[in-house]
Chain A
Amino acid sequence: MGIGHNTIAFHQDKCDGCGDCMTVCAEAKSGTTDTQHSRLKIVPSVAANDSFELAMCRQCGDPKCVLNCPSGSLTKDHETGVVPWDQEKCVDCLLCTVGCAYGGITYNAAAGHVMKCDMCDGDPACVKSCPTGALEYNKSAEIYNNYGELEDLFVPGLAACQGCNSELLIRHTMRKIGSNVVVATPPGCIAGMGTVGFNGKTGSKIPVFHPLLTNTASMLAGAKRYYNRIGRDVTMVALAGDGGTVDAGFQSLSGAAERGEQMLYICVDNEGYMNTGMQRSGSTSFGSWTSTTPVGETLRGKTQDAKNMPVIMMMHNCEYVATASLAFMDDYYEKLDKATAAAERGLAYLHVYSPCPTGWRIPPESTNEVCRKAVETNFATLWEFTPDEGLRFTRPVDNPLPVEQYLNLSGKYRHLDDEQLTHIQNSVKRKVAFLNGFMLATSGSEAQMQ
């Protein structure tokens, strides 16, 4: 138990059938560019025109090819997850190809034997060659293998909405950081879903308290100073929403950042006061429908741009500032590591873009898709900043998708007209240009000063 396996995912909507993956596979495995030696096949779809299907070994959990193999040349390696094929033992009976429903193991007439994918020892050549990103090396299992055994520090019964991104965030975050913490959850969904408890019971297995909307950072600062005085090493963590960070909690956070108080402050930005009925906040994006920026004959959603909170925190010269999106969980886990370490020296600030299925009018099952599209369109950029090393993009997007592809997923943007769309696209470009300029100005700040 405790073992997952990385897998190669195929995104049919992105595949243009160029066949580069097949050429590269044949080259890597047989030293020829003849695609009949390729262990994966891209074939035109029979179901729809202009789309393609992938035939490739999936390294099944309970592989039928292995069951069918009479000679023991196919086995399931439960350590690596790969189903290796041993040519020495193979009797060329082809029963394996009959067992496989995915076209994953096929007869190569030119070579005179069957062939199948071996995942290139965890570094698949096909994925690297794919120009459109249709083939993706999905490494979710790495996180599972490292952290899946650790106890979830919240009870299963939190009353967050279906598909809630904040619930996902707090469970992963606290499991990773551990229980030697004091957690502050100011008014907002995270407290409201029951982490601080109700009816005398609690939803957390760790020390948690409920500050006011305005004083989260100052209460944590005081608690940390007390622990420092009695000589106990405890990490202070704030799990706050954008209202408690960008609006009402701003002065205490700004003060704590300026004083360099030791804490990890995580802002879960769902662009509004979603817990109290979806009112606008300083972080609500331009054009969004909220209950206080309604859509009617005169008003077409919010008329101002969102406050760029991560940049404001960067200007405080905090020990560590980063943005994250849970569609890129490996990126988030790395940033959590750095942020937790930085919280021992001063204030670390994480800004997580967190779509809200209820308040944004999105179906609960698409929450992660919205997270992903926000990054792929550059609506949300993923970067990190330290005073010494300056700003660095952790997942630069070279060819961003048009921002409509992100906006179209949420009902709160349903009413947008062309003028508003142009405004949003331009402000996305401006924000990225600003960050790029800032990155050039600060990259290797330490080195530039020499």
Chain B
Amino acid sequence: MLKQSRPRFDQATIPNDLCPIGTELITMLPGDWRSERPVVDRDKCVKCATCWLLCPVQCIVEMAAWFDISYDSCKGCGICATECPHNAIAMIIETEG
């Protein structure tokens, strides 16, 4: 990945009489919001990147021969499964299978 953001500044340089905000990133991950999870059929995926393009959370990761999903941050909206031109993604209810 090509880093775009600049390095975060050294917090030790903040004077003691200032209360800094926004110096750390939010670490919450929304993966546990899901009621359904997308599962990629590796044989059907043709790497067209449509899922990556339309995933609101941008949790699609590229593998050698297919695109996969990072379940840490996937909210389970199902847009990838709806938009996949080759029906390679299925939504599975979390409590089943």
A260 an interface residue at 8 Å Cβ cutoff? no
Chain B, residue nearest A170 (CB): B56
B71 CB to nearest chain A CB (Å)? 11
Chain B, residue nearest A76 (CB): B65
Q: Which residues of B contact A368 (CB under 8 A)?
A: 54, 79, 82-83
Could you tell me which residues of chain A, from 141 to 164, have a CB within 8 Å of some CB in chain B? 141, 143-145, 148-153, 155-160, 162-164
A437 CB to nearest chain B CB (Å)? 34
B57 CB to nearest chain A CB (Å)? 6
B97 an interface residue at 8 Å Cβ cutoff? no
Task: Check A140/B52 contact, CB under 8 A, given A61-B42, A167-B57, A175-B4.
Answer: yes
Task: Check A367/B79 contact, CB under 8 A, given A1-B62, A140-B49, A140-B53.
Answer: yes
Q: A150 CA to B5 CA in the complex, in Å?
A: 10
Tell me whether B5 and A144 are in contact (CB under 8 A).
no
Q: Which residues of B contact A167 (CB under 8 A)?
A: 56-57
Q: Which residues of B contact A59 (CB under 8 A)?
A: 46
Tell me whether B52 and A202 are in contact (CB under 8 A).
no
Q: A322 CA to B30 CA in the complex, in Å?
A: 33
Tell me whether B24 and A200 are in contact (CB under 8 A).
yes
Q: A162 CA to B38 CA in the complex, in Å?
A: 13
> Which of A3-11, A32-40, A44-52, A297-305 binds B?
A3-11
Return the CB mask of A181-196 against B: 1 if under 8 Å, else 0: 0000000000000101
Chain B interface residues (CB < 8 Å from chain A): 1-6, 21-30, 33, 42-50, 52-59, 62, 64-67, 70, 72-73, 75-79, 81-83, 85-86, 91
Q: Which residues of A contact B72 (CB under 8 A)?
A: 156
Q: A168 CA to B58 CA in the complex, in Å?
A: 8
Q: Which residues of B contact A171 (CB under 8 A)?
A: 56, 58
Q: Is the interface of A mostly helix, strand, loop or mixed?
A: loop
Chain B, residue nearest A7 (CB): B48
Tell me whether B77 and A364 are in contact (CB under 8 A).
yes
Q: Which residues of B contact A151 (CB under 8 A)?
A: 1-5
Chain A interface residues (CB < 8 Å from chain B): 1-7, 9-10, 58-62, 64, 81, 136, 138, 140-141, 143-145, 148-153, 155-160, 162-165, 167-168, 171, 175, 178-179, 194, 196-198, 200-203, 205-206, 326, 329, 357, 363-369
Task: Check A163/B85 contact, CB under 8 A, given A5-B47, A62-B43, A143-B53.
Answer: no
Tell me whether B62 and A2 are in contact (CB under 8 A).
yes
Q: A7-B85, A365-B91 are in contact. List 16 more A-B contacts (CB 8 A).
A: A4-B52, A58-B46, A58-B86, A60-B46, A140-B53, A144-B52, A151-B4, A153-B4, A157-B29, A162-B76, A162-B77, A194-B26, A200-B22, A201-B27, A206-B5, A329-B54
Tell me whether B33 and A61 are in contact (CB under 8 A).
no
Chain A, residue nearest B70 (CB): A156
Q: Which residues of A contact B46 (CB under 8 A)?
A: 5, 7, 58-61, 81
Tell me whether A163 and B56 are in contact (CB under 8 A).
yes
Task: Check A5/B48 contact, CB under 8 A, given A197-B22, A368-B82.
Answer: yes
The residue in B3, B28, B43 that gathers the most chain A C-beta atoms within 10 A of its C-beta is B28
Q: A31 CA to B40 CA in the complex, in Å?
A: 39
Q: A201 CA to B70 CA in the complex, in Å?
A: 23
Tell me whether B4 and A9 are in contact (CB under 8 A).
no
Tell me whether A157 and B49 are in contact (CB under 8 A).
no
Tell me whether A143 and B49 are in contact (CB under 8 A).
yes
Top 4 closest A-B pairs, CB basis? A365-B78, A9-B85, A4-B49, A144-B49
